[in-house]
Amino acid sequence: MTQVIEGMELVYEKPQTMTDAYLHYCPGCGHSVAHRLLMEVVQEMGIQDRTVGVAPVGCSVFAYNYMNIDMQEAAHGRACAVATGVKRVMPDKFIFTYQGDGDLAAIGTAETVHTINRGENILIVFINNGVYGMTGGQMAPTTLIGMKTTTSPYGREQATMGYPLKITEMISVLPGAFYVTRQAVHTAAAVRKTKKAFEKAFEYQKLNRGTCFIEIVSNCPSGWKMTPVESNEWMEKNMFPLYPLGDIKVPTQLN
């Protein structure tokens, strides 16, 4: 129950679509903000009892502790496949996956690509922080050239480790991709844009026209060995040039 202090204006209230569990994420991590925005939209749209989230292995695996909706765990990389099954059995539900870059863009690449190629009517939320944040900060498919991780201590080298995978641009060309955007949650302005993207994605799901895909470029202070402020500055300087924010594919017709 919210306590309102006389003479004070209430500017924020935790949505009922989030549980009372304390978030375990490291200070400054973007997962907490992404969780809150997603659940704010679910509450404001009045779809709490009609929403099902799918969370696989990774930092996202604990989402079911915090999101007060029906949640389904999935094996590593298989969230899109599980979400496909849930949506086909319950087509009137709002279905989303919540995945990290190691899960979605590595072991789950095939499931991601084929789900979108079929145009499955779900929302895929993709958190890109350039490392395997939960398992020790190893190099991920999205790790930048020259970026140091626990498995690339001298920096990612293209000749032996390949290029960073721009999965969002890749899937945007698929006919089944209906709405594709890349956002962030490190500033108030970015938060507002990301929330708007969530709102659009759930509204588009009512149309049954294809897959919505939202990438959120985020920081990983612990994995990057930086303070939260330093990690946000590093992200702006290094991540955004390769992963620029903004809409990549938007619907041209909505009827």
Determine, yes or no, domain membership for 220. yes
Determine, yes or no, domain membership for 244. yes
Q: Name residues whose C-beta falls within 8 Å of residue 5's C-beta, 6 or more positions apart in sequence.
A: none
Q: Two tokens at 131? A: 């490392």
Task: Name the packing angle between helices 30-45 and 188-205 (round to 10°).
Answer: 50
Long-range CB contact pairs, 228-236, < 8 A, 24+: 228/27, 228/28, 229/28, 231/28, 232/28, 232/186, 235/184, 235/186, 236/186
pTM for this one?
0.94
Model confidence at 4, in pLDDT bands (50, 70, 90)? low
Domain of 75 in residue numbering reads as 30-249
Determine, yes or no, domain membership for 145. yes
Domain count, the chain: 1
Determine, yes or no, domain membership for 165. yes
Q: Is there a contact between 32 and 23 (Cβ–Cβ < 8 Å)?
A: yes
Residue 7 DSSP class: T
The pLDDT tens digits for 21-66 are 999 899 999 999 999 999 999 999 999 999 999 999 877 778 999 9
95: pLDDT strictly greater than 70? yes
Determine, yes or no, domain membership for 15. no
